[in-house]
Amino acid sequence: MKLAIFIDYDNLLDGHKMSGILDVATKTLLQTPISSSIVRGTCDIRIYGGWYEGPTMTKRAQELAVAINNEFPAIIRVPSQTGEISSFTANAELAVAMMEEPSHHLFGTYRKKGKPNNLRVQQPEEVGCTDQTCPLPVAKRLLKTGSCPISSCIVTAADLVYRHEQKIVDTMLACDMVYAPSLNYNQLILVSGDDDFLPPLRTVLLRGTPVARFHPKPNQTRTPLAIRGAQLIDINL
């Protein structure tokens, strides 16, 4: 049996990240229905995140790569539906290129952006503040004009307010899920509660490959997904 696990790293909880990728993979396999006829199998694990800031690997990616190298390859033993033990040889890697084109690295997946355009700042009196030294008016002008209202200050909004975001990563994961069945995987496992992945999940089911989705955050309000008799297995991690 050949399995693939796709892990949306930023969707994991801090506890999952601290316990490590091997622990996350083991938890998914323990809850994935395994046929009693499976004695041995392989499990390929890909971890998706913003691993490159420009052409440079981020510190987080470097640390995670070291942890993965220390944990894998590994043997994960799980009971089948009848209680027999199935052994999976597991390998893991950071997803830095599409499965269909492994030689083409995708750089710039972690980017620094300026202040969000939809930020709003209330007037102090609108939120019940009567303090004359309240910083909200200064913050509002700083965000609106991009410069500090104090004439002697040269600080700009871009110096103080920014955000990091992933680019390309989700679409790479989606492409990999759609491509993976061509590599003869018997089952796909997605570790993410992000509904943006429902289209590739539907595509995989339409093409006849069993797929399970594990939600890092408990979610009891999911809408069951069934395609042509095939059922998406939804499980809390």
The whole-number pLDDT of residue 36 equals 63
The four Cα atoms 183, 188, 67, 78 give a dihedral, to 10 degrees, of -110
- Please give the C-alpha separations between residue 43 and each of 138, 158, 198, 211, 220, in angstroms, as whole numbers: 54, 44, 22, 14, 28
pLDDT mean over 106-113: 87
CATH code for the part of the protein at 2-111+165-236: 3.40.50
> For the chain, which residues make up each domain, given as ranges?
2-111+165-236, 115-161
Crossing angle (nearest 10°) for helices 198-206 and 169-179: 10
The whole-number pLDDT of residue 220 equals 66
* Span 206-237, pLDDT tens digits: 988 999 999 998 876 666 677 766 778 888 98
Q: Which of 228, 227, 177, 224 is nearest to 202 (CA)?
A: 227
Q: Tokens standing for 90?
A: 């597991």
Reported as type and span, the H/E element at residue 154 is none
Q: Which of 218, 220, 214, 223 is nearest to 189 (CA)?
A: 214
The whole-number pLDDT of residue 216 equals 94
* Span 147-177, pLDDT tens digits: 777 778 777 766 666 667 889 999 999 999 9
Where does 72-192 have alpha helices with state H?
Answer: 136-145, 157-160, 169-179
Pick 132 or 70 by higher pLDDT. Answer: 70
Query: Backbone phi, then psi, for 7, in 5-degree steps?
Result: -110, 120
